[in-house]
């Protein structure tokens, strides 16, 4: 046996050597990697904004429940005030006490009403923040979907070697980038 090594080369290897490689495939491979990276970022952003929207919606529900509790307390004070007013009309017993109770309940109700209205306002603010985040989430999700379509088109382009399909890759990539910019700008 000889100490010399030899290599068996196939027709594909020789063609690559003479053409300097397949630049079409290389360009698509690099573009696919860039698109996949962008898609991963868009996916993360979509999930993040969806979680923020859910948290705002949760905060809105908590504030709404607290407001409901305050309105129930307000109603209880109103009932006590009404009973004190009724006691003055029906009986002649201790009218000064009932008059003081009526005034006290009236004053307490003012503070309770303000607190309940403030909580309702905060609940509405959280709902609006949630809706705004869901809008941004939809932008990110659409951007991610378009990038995934672009990656699929790039794979089909590579397999079929039809360069005309690159128009679809560029178009859907551009669409994805536009929606990503809209999401970044909260538009």
Q: What is the pTM of this model?
A: 0.72
The Cα–Cα gap between 28 and 157 comes to 8
Mean pLDDT within 117-143: 96
Residue 57's pLDDT is 96
Total structural domains within the chain: 1
Does residue 68 or residue 89 have the better pLDDT?
A: 68
Find the Cα–Cα–Cα–Cα dihedral 76, 79, 84, 90, rounded to 10°.
Answer: -150
13: confidence class by pLDDT, cuts 50, 70, 90: low
- The verdict on residue 8 lying in a domain is no
> Beta-carbon neighbour count of residue 20 at 10 Å?
7
Structural domain of residue 111, as residue ranges? 23-184
DSSP 3: S
pLDDT value of position 103: 93
Does residue 11 have a pLDDT over 80?
A: no
The answer to whether position 73 is within a domain reads yes
């Amino acid at each position: 046996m000889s100490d010399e090594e030899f290599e068996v080369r196939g027709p594909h290897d020789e063609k690559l050597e003479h053409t300097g490689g397949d630049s079409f495939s290389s360009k698509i491979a690099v573009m696919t990697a860039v698109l996949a990276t962008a898609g991963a970022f868009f996916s993360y952003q979509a999930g993040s904004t969806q979680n923020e929207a859910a948290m705002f919606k949760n905060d809105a529900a908590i504030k709404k429940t607290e407001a409901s509790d305050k309105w129930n307390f307000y109603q209880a004070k109103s009932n006590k005030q009404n009973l004190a007013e009724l006691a003055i009309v029906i009986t002649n017993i201790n009218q000064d006490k009932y008059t003081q109770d009526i005034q006290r309940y009236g004053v307490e109700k003012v503070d309770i009403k303000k607190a309940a209205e403030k909580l309702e306002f905060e609940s509405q603010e959280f709902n609006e923040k949630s809706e705004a985040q869901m809008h941004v989430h939809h932008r990110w999700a659409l951007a991610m979907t378009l990038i995934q379509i672009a990656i699929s088109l790039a794979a089909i382009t590579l397999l079929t070697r039809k360069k005309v399909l690159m128009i679809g890759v560029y178009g859907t990539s551009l669409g994805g980038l536009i929606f990503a910019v809209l999401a970044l700008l909260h538009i």
